[in-house]
Structure 1
Amino acid sequence: MTRSVTAVPTRTDDRPAQGGRSREELANRLLKGSVRKSYAPVVDIDWDAPIEPDMFFLPPELISIYGTELWDSLSRAQQIEQSRQELVNVLSAGIWFENILNQALLRDLMHRNPTAASSHYKLTELGDETRHMVMFGKAIDHVGGIPIRPRLYQRMIINLLPLLFRGPILWGAALVGEEIFDALQRQILEGAEVQPFVLRLMRIHVTEEARHIQFARDDLRKTAPAMPWYRRVVVANLHGVGGPFYRFLLTHPAIYARAGLDPRQARRVARSNPNFLRSCRDSAEPLTEFFTEVGLMGRLSRRMWRGAGFL
């Protein structure tokens, strides 16, 4: 079952873009694309299909400890369990990020023209993201996983973030949250030993997120040249916190403890693992190249991304 809205970059209002299509023209294209190709994960994934007992939940080469002595010391069953826990971690993070983005989009829409195509596309994106949250939640349940939830103080901070996400800061944050996962998911789609339902889930998410990324990128391309210097400094350096955040997220102690490993040892092994660091750099490359292209890769953010192993 498919629904849809078009896929094209857009800005946060209905002003014409400089030297190109307006935000509204792009929003209309994205709306049409969404009409042609959107999904209802509740029916577009066979949730009754059994889990394949001897297949990984993520490609082995994307597991944080893959290629290390620790990985080689595990039985195949233990390796598969580690892949299951890392999938649950990625899906859990996706749920919490979609929650933040949806809150920010709703707050932004309060200040926008409700008749504009760009507003309609934001509402369409909201619909996509809520369905993704359902999809991720059902997937965690399908594999018998337990969501990895932020601590109370982290949830309190998360609920404050949408108050700060406006204009270019919103779209920069959206890209940090979407592009790295998008690149990671594209690597997952190349996996041959991965559970079929995981590949289906990733295909759905990649297809719909491509429109969201296009929309966010378009806004920054159009607004970056006219930003006051102080706003440019903030936008160009604030996204650097994504580096340490992802480093913590992708080596969360729970994913090792739940798989029966010593979390401190396993995290230390993962963070010095050349295979894992290469995967991090590959996942961040489209994002950091884009920020560099539009002049929004500040020195501080570059240092933070590099220090976390993503550059």
Structure 2
Amino acid sequence: MTTTPDSVAPETVTLRDGLGPLRDREQVAQRLLDSSAHHSFDPDAELDWDAPFEDDKWFWPPELVSLYDTPLWRQMSEEQRKELARHEAASLASLGIWFEIILMQLLVRHIYDKPVTSAHVRYALTEIADECRHSTMFARLIQKAGSPAYPVTRLHHQLARVLKTVSTTPGSFACTLLGEEILDYMQRLTFPDERVQPLIRGVTRIHVVEEARHVRYAREELRRQMVSCPRWEAELTRISAGEAARVFSLAFVNPRVYTDVGLDRRAAVAQVKASVHRREVMQTGARRLTDFLDEVGLMRGVGRRLWRSSGLLA
């Protein structure tokens, strides 16, 4: 990220493009630190990792499984549907680990030149600690479920290497929100769902509570960056965020899950792409984010066209 040393004192910022008033960076960070002190979890102690899975429970709500309500889904047995849900939960956990490792590196770059005693930096370090716990929690969940890990493709892995090395500050926070908010939507549907395995519900509950702070931090900083960054950087962020949305939509579920449960991979992928239900789920999950990005000026021109091509924007 492109950064410069900041003062810890309250800022005055000249607004442009109707982005609205900015909240003081230090006050926002202090509120998030206070929340972290009262609502943070140790997954190793909080969750019952020794309890056996329940035979009649799902590993992911069926309506959120990629093939739900497709012709192939209707041909599958209930046992095979639940097996697919188990593998998709592992795929999403694998995606979450990949994404959070990227996010931690972006946050470290963001604070590198900033005052180490500021609340803004202290909260970033607190968030990095949260993400470390989330990654180990997801890895333990994959292992407990007896599923393979599902890494992203080599191409997406290398593209992310470039992103975390050269991304500008607003681009980094836009990509952060992309990874956090769609999964957050699905997890908010999962943790209260009594059809789902208790361990899955516990993992998603912890993630939802702690990610709410991460989303707030990223939104406030992205709004600030879009006010102060040069116009070339704003345009670059529109394009990079749109391209990231396209990559994210492709990487969301590893197609190997279909092979691993005995399905024809090409047929499954084709039916997911054609599924009206799946498109509605993904677009609904992204809507809160796309509305916000539109508000701060990131859904224009080429960027908006890339978001449409990702399937995440209606």
**How far 1:248 moved relative to its partner?**
1.4
With over 3 angstroms needed to count, the CA separation of the structure-2 counterparts of 1:282 and 1:210, relative to structure 1, is same
In 2, Cα distance between equivalents of 1:305 and 1:20: 26
Q: Report the counterpart of residue 60 of structure 1 in structure 2.
A: 62
Alignment of 1:188-203 (within 5 A): 188-203=190-205
Alignment of 1:104-183 (within 5 A): 104-183=106-185
Moved more, 121-130 or 176-185: 176-185
In 2, Cα distance between equivalents of 1:29 and 1:137: 30
1:280 is aligned, of 282, 295, 303, to 282
In 2, Cα distance between equivalents of 1:226 and 1:126: 25
**How far 1:232 moved relative to its partner?**
1.3
**8 Å Cα contact 1:17-1:222 kept in structure 2:** no
Residues 189-245 of structure 1, C-alpha deviations (whole Å, 9 max, x = no match): 353311111111111001000000000101122232333221111112211113322
Alignment of 1:1-311 (within 5 A): 13=6, 14=8, 16=11, 18=13, 19=21, 21-311=23-313
Residues 74-119 of structure 1, C-alpha deviations (whole Å, 9 max, x = no match): 1111000000111011000000000011112122222211111100
Amino acid at match of 1:262: D
**8 Å Cα contact 2:150-2:254 kept in structure 1:** no
Residues 236-278 of structure 1, C-alpha deviations (whole Å, 9 max, x = no match): 2211113322331234221111111111110100111111111
In 2, Cα distance between equivalents of 1:280 and 1:151: 21
In 2, Cα distance between equivalents of 1:263 and 1:290: 35
In 2, Cα distance between equivalents of 1:261 and 1:20: 51
With over 3 angstroms needed to count, the CA separation of the structure-2 counterparts of 1:124 and 1:17, relative to structure 1, is farther
In 2, Cα distance between equivalents of 1:171 and 1:17: 21
**8 Å Cα contact 2:62-2:85 kept in structure 1:** yes
In 2, Cα distance between equivalents of 1:293 and 1:125: 25
- What is the root-mean-square deviation in Å for CA atoms of aligned residues? 1.7
In 1, Cα distance between equivalents of 2:61 and 2:155: 33
**How far 1:31 moved relative to its partner?**
0.4
**8 Å Cα contact 1:113-1:119 kept in structure 2:** yes
Matched residues, number:
300
In 2, Cα distance between equivalents of 1:209 and 1:151: 25
Amino acid at match of 2:11: P
Residues 1-39 of structure 1, C-alpha deviations (whole Å, 9 max, x = no match): xxxxxxxxxxx9535254554101111111010000001
Amino acid at match of 1:198: I
With over 3 angstroms needed to count, the CA separation of the structure-2 counterparts of 1:251 and 1:129, relative to structure 1, is closer
**How far 1:63 moved relative to its partner?**
0.8
Amino acid at match of 1:96: W
**How far 1:166 moved relative to its partner?**
3.8
**8 Å Cα contact 1:58-1:191 kept in structure 2:** no
In 2, Cα distance between equivalents of 1:279 and 1:121: 32
Structure 1 residue runs without a partner (length 5+)? 1-11
**8 Å Cα contact 2:173-2:222 kept in structure 1:** yes
Q: Secondary structure, in 3 states, of the residue corresponding to 2:40? A: strand
| TM-score, normalisation: structure 1 | 0.91
With over 3 angstroms needed to count, the CA separation of the structure-2 counterparts of 1:219 and 1:289, relative to structure 1, is same
**8 Å Cα contact 1:104-1:166 kept in structure 2:** no
**8 Å Cα contact 2:91-2:253 kept in structure 1:** no
